[in-house]
Amino acid sequence: MSEQSNAITMDGPESLWYGHKGNLYAMLILGVVAIGSVWALSLDTRWIYLLVYVWFGVGYGVLLQYGRFCMASAVRDLFAVGVPRMAVGMLIAVVLFSLTAAIVKVMGVNTFHPHPIGWHVIIGGAIFGFGIVFTGGCASGSLYKSGEGNLGALLVVLSISFSQAIYVTLGGWFDRLVPASWTESAATKGMPEELTVTEGWFDQFTAGYIWDLKGTTLAESLEFEGEVAGAFVGNAFLGAILPSLVLLVYLYMFAYRKGYLRRYKIEMPKLGDHLRGIWSMVSSSRNTAIAGLGLGLLAGLHMWATGALRDHYQIFNFGELLADMGHTAGLSLQDTVFDPGYWYITTQEAQWGAWVMEKAGMMSRDNIFFGLENGIPNPIINAPGWMSIGIIFGAAVIALSRREFKWKVPNLETAMFALIGGALMGLGARLAMGCNIGAFFATVTNGDLSGWVFLAGMTLGGYLGVKGFSRWMEWRAGKDEFDI
Amino acid sequence: MAAIRDKWMVQWQFQKDWHPASEEEPGVMWWFGKRKRPQSSGLSRTDRSLELPGIGMVRLQVQIDCLGAVCPRPQLLTMRALDHMQEGEILELLVDNPGSSEAIPAMCMTLGSTHLTTVRDDQGWRIYVRKGEPGTG
C-alpha cells in the first residue's frame, strides 16, 4: 500500500554505471558543456559572464527534472485533482529563495528590479495560466521536458519564442485597440524617432502605460530602516515567508486535510493531528521538496554570482562587455541586451524568435522591447538564452542517467495544443512582463508583491483552463466504454 | 540522424502496440480522422489476472493508456475511470511522462484510493491503483 512513488524496476539486473548507455550520453553532454566552457574562456575570459548563465541553467535543469518540478501543475493540479503536492514544493522554493535573495541584497549585489503593479499583471497571469494547462507545462517546465526528449514541449518553447516576437512588433489594426491616453503618454516620453513609439500596440502599452506605473519592494514601501531589516523582515518575511505559510495552511485545510484524516481514520482531530498532517503534506513528495530547497538556494547564488561579476567588470549590463569584445550587432540603442542577472525564461526566448525572423527579413527594431531594451543578439552570445539551453542540457543529463529520456513525438492534438497554448503563454508573459519565474518566483522572493498578483491571475487562468481542458477530454472520451 | 530516426520508429511502433483501438481503426487518435470512427481516450475495460511484485496475484478491471501524453491527461483519465469503477476494482495506468509517474500516487489519498505499486520497464511506468482506502479491498 505504498504512498511513495518509488517504482519497482523490471529491466534486468543492475550493471555498472558506465555499462548503461544513458550514463554515457549524460557524461557526453556534461563533457561538451565543460569543453565548450573552456574553449570560450580560452577565447576571452570575459565569457565567464555568459558561462555563469549556462551552468546555473544546467543546475536548474537538473533540479527541475529531479523534482518533476512544474509550476504549471502547482496551480493546475489543485483544480484538476485537488492535489497540493507541487504547490507545496513551489512554496518551499519561495521561502528558501527569499532568504538567499535577502542575503544577496545585504551583500549589495542583488540584481533584482521590482515590477510595476497594474491590471496587466493579473490579465497576463490569467492568459498565461490558461495556456499552461493546454501545453502541459510552464515555461521552465517546457524546457526541462524538452530535455527529457519530449518534442511536444520543444514545440511549446518554439511557440513561446515566435509568438512573443510577433506580439511586440504588431502594429496596424492592433493599434486601434490601444487607448488614446496611452498613445498621448507614449508621445511625451521623448523616445528616439526610430522607435516610432506611437505605432505598435506593445510600444504604446510599454511607454504609455507601464512606464507610468511604479514598482516597489515591501522594504521600500514600509520604509524599513537599515538594509538588514528591510531585506530579511520586509522583503523576505513579510513579502514571501508569511504569505507562503498562510498559503500552506490554506492548502492543508482545503486540499489535504480531508483525505489525510480519512486515510488515518482520525475522527476527532486535535491540533497535533493537524500539525502532523501539515508535515505529511510538506514531506509527501520528497524529491519535489528537495528540488524546491535546491532551486531556492541556486537562484540566490545565481544573483550573487552575476552581481559579483558586474562589480568586477564595473558594468550594469552584459551589453557593455559584448561591446568591449566587439560584438555590437545585436545590441539595443542603449548598447544593452537582455541580462536579468537571475532566473528568467521568456524574454530570451522572444529574442531567439526575433533573431530568426530578423535573418528572414521579417523583423524590424523600431520597437522599445527589442530596439531600446533587450536587443536581438545572436543566440550564440545570448547569455540568458544559454541559461534556457542549459536547463535543457541539465534535464537531459539527469533524465538520461535515470533512464527516463525518451524521444516523444506529439500527435496532431498535442502539437496543436502546444502551439496554441504556447502562443497564449507568450501573450500572457509579455503582458505581465514575465512568466511564472520572472513575474512570480523572482518577484515575490525579493519583496515585490506584484508576483502574488501574477499568481492570483495564473490561478484564475489555471482554473478556467482546467474547466476547458476537462470538457475537451470528456468530449474525446465520450465514446469509450465509460460513456455515461 | 539514423539513430534518432530509428528511435522515432520504435516509438511509433510502441504507440501502435499500446493503442489497440487505434490499431483497429487507424487515424482515430488524430483530429481529422474519418468522422464515423469513435474517438479513443485510451480508457478501456479489461478482465485479466497478473502478478504484481510485492502484492501477489490481482485481477485487473480497467486499463488506461497514456503513452506519449503529458499532464493533466493521465490525472483526468484516472479520475474519470475511478468515478466509474466499483470499490475494490483495480486499474493499470501506463505512462511514459516522468512527471505523471509521481503525480498519480500523490493523488490517491485525495481520491480515497490506494496506490498498490508502480512497475517500471523500458516502455515507461505501469501504475496500479485500487479504488477504495487501504485495507478495504
User: What ipTM does this complex have?
Assistant: 0.82
Length of chain B: 137
Q: How confident is the model at residue A80 (pLDDT cuts 50, 70, 90)?
A: confident
| A353, A452 contact by CB (below 8 A) | no
Could you give the angle at the alpha carbon of A56 between the alpha carbons of A398 and A75, nearest 5°?
70
Residue contact B40–A478, C-beta within 8 A: no
A284 touches chain B (CB under 8 A): yes
Residues on chain B touching A79 (C-beta within 8 angstroms): none
> What is the C-alpha separation between A68 and A70, in angstroms, rounded?
6
- CA nearest to A187, candidates A212, A154, A218, A168: A212
Name residues 126-155 of chain A within 8 A of B (Cβ). 133, 136-137, 145, 148, 150, 152-153
Q: What are the cell numbers at A229?
A: 531589516
Mean of pLDDT over chain A: 90
| Closest in A4, A148, A479 to B39, CB measured | A479
A478 touches chain B (CB under 8 A): yes
| Closest in B40, B53, B104 to A8, CB measured | B53
- CA nearest to A286, candidates B89, B106, B63: B106
Q: What are the cell numbers at B87?
A: 470499490
From first to last of its 137 residues, chain B has per-residue pLDDT tens of 455 555 455 444 444 444 444 444 443 444 444 444 444 568 888 889 999 988 889 999 999 998 888 888 898 889 889 988 999 999 999 998 888 888 898 889 888 899 999 999 888 899 999 999 887 65
- Compute, in degrees rounded to 10, the torsion defined by CA atoms A417, A423, A427, A432: 60
- In our burial notation (b when 16+ CB lie closer than 10 A, e otherwise), range B94-120 reads bbbbbbbbbbbbbbbbbbbbbbbbbbb
Residues on chain B touching A75 (C-beta within 8 angstroms): none
* pLDDT for the residue B14: 43
Q: Name the residue in chain A with its Cα closest to that of B116.
A: A1
> What is the C-alpha separation between A242 and B99, in angstroms, rounded?
29
Which residues of B have a catalytic role annotated? Answer: 71
- CA nearest to B52, candidates B91, B98, B108: B91
- CA nearest to B42, candidates B22, B61, B24, B59: B22
> What is the C-alpha separation between A71 and A73, in angstroms, rounded?
5
Residue contact A410–B68, C-beta within 8 A: yes
3-state secondary structure labels for all residues of A195-229: HCCCCCHHHHHHHHCHHHCCECCHHHHCCCCCHHH
Decide which of A368 and B135 is more confident: A368
Phi, psi torsion values for A310, nearest 5 degrees: -60, -40
Residue contact B103–A77, C-beta within 8 A: yes
Residue contact A76–B68, C-beta within 8 A: no
Distance from CA of B75 to the nearest CA of A (A): 7
Task: Kindly state the DSSP code that residue A115 receives in the 8-state scheme.
Answer: P
* pLDDT for the residue B72: 83
> What is the C-alpha separation between A351 and B10, in angstroms, rounded?
35
| Closest in B84, B114, B122 to A482, CB measured | B84
Phi, psi torsion values for A408, nearest 5 degrees: -125, 120
